[in-house]
Amino acid sequence: MIYYLRQEENFLPIEIIESDGSYEVRYNNRNFVVDIQHVTGNKYSAIIDGKSLTLFTHKEGKEQVVTRKHNRLSHAFLTERQRIEAELFGDSAEDVGKGDVKAPMPGMILRVEVAEGDMVKVGQPLLVMEAMKMENEIKAETAGIVKSILAKEQQAVVKEDLLLSIGE
């Protein structure tokens, strides 16, 4: 999968390839072999090109923050669609996708539980989708007003499909 790291006006591609439980990461004309294991909570143990690291991670808005010892890295990783939106509309990386609700995995939309114009709270159920023969409730990660609903009941979706947008 290819993600994009925004640096000023440039988008740097980062390709991540999973292979036998580890990952090959291609970034800035360099290849890294990464083996990462979840330890507990937000703590991860990583081996990057043979070097062992302990990492802590959390989200701040749309940015993923990674801390190692006292070094803090904060970046917005964009999908191909988000990169194109940022290039076309000039949105800053932190604004791209703000309030967008995307499919977390491939599946089928079973129910849409909100309507355009509804006020929603964080944690409120928005949609129910079936994936891998299980019902999954998609909840709001941000409060606001439902601006648009693109998903329809009985619609098949793929991972990262835009389902609905929440605005202020």
pLDDT value of residue 151: 92
Length of the chain: 168
Core vs surface per residue 43-64: b (16+ CB within 10 A) or e: ebebeeeeeeeebeeeeeebee
Task: Tell me, rounded to whole angstroms, the distance of Cα 145 from its chain centroid.
Answer: 21
Question: SS3 for 160?
Answer: coil
pLDDT value of residue 150: 92
Q: How confident is the model at residue 143 (pLDDT cuts 50, 70, 90)?
A: confident
pLDDT of 74 over the 80 cut: no
Architecture of domain 2-89: 2-Layer Sandwich (3.30)
Residue 114 in tokens = 């909100």
Task: Tell me, rounded to whole angstroms, the distance of Cα 109 from its chain centroid.
Answer: 19
Q: Do domains 2-89 and 100-167 have the same CATH topology?
A: no
CATH tag, 100-167: 2.40.50.100
Higher pLDDT, 158 or 8: 158
Percent with pLDDT over 70 in the chain: 86
Backbone torsions φ then ψ of 131, nearest 5 degrees: -145, 135
Do residues 150 and 101 lie in contact, with contact meaning Cβ atoms separated by under 8 Å? no
| DSSP label of 106 | S
Q: What confidence tens digit (pLDDT) does each residue in 94-113 have?
A: 444 458 888 888 999 999 99
Range 134-143 average pLDDT? 86
Q: What is the Cα gyration radius of the chain?
A: 18
Place of tokens 């929603």: 120
Higher pLDDT, 150 or 92: 150
Backbone torsions φ then ψ of 61, nearest 5 degrees: 65, -125
Q: How confident is the model at residue 114 (pLDDT cuts 50, 70, 90)?
A: very high
pLDDT value of residue 97: 45
| DSSP label of 141 | S
Residue 87 in tokens = 């290039």
pLDDT of 115 over the 90 cut: yes
Residue ranges of the domains in the chain?
2-89, 100-167
Q: How confident is the model at residue 149 (pLDDT cuts 50, 70, 90)?
A: very high
Range 127-144 average pLDDT? 88
Closest residue by Cα to residue 130 from 94, 155, 162: 155
pLDDT value of residue 62: 60
User: CB count, 10 Å around CB of 168?
Assistant: 9
Q: What confidence tens digit (pLDDT) does each residue in 75-96 have?
A: 667 777 777 777 766 554 444 4
Percent with pLDDT over 90 in the chain: 22
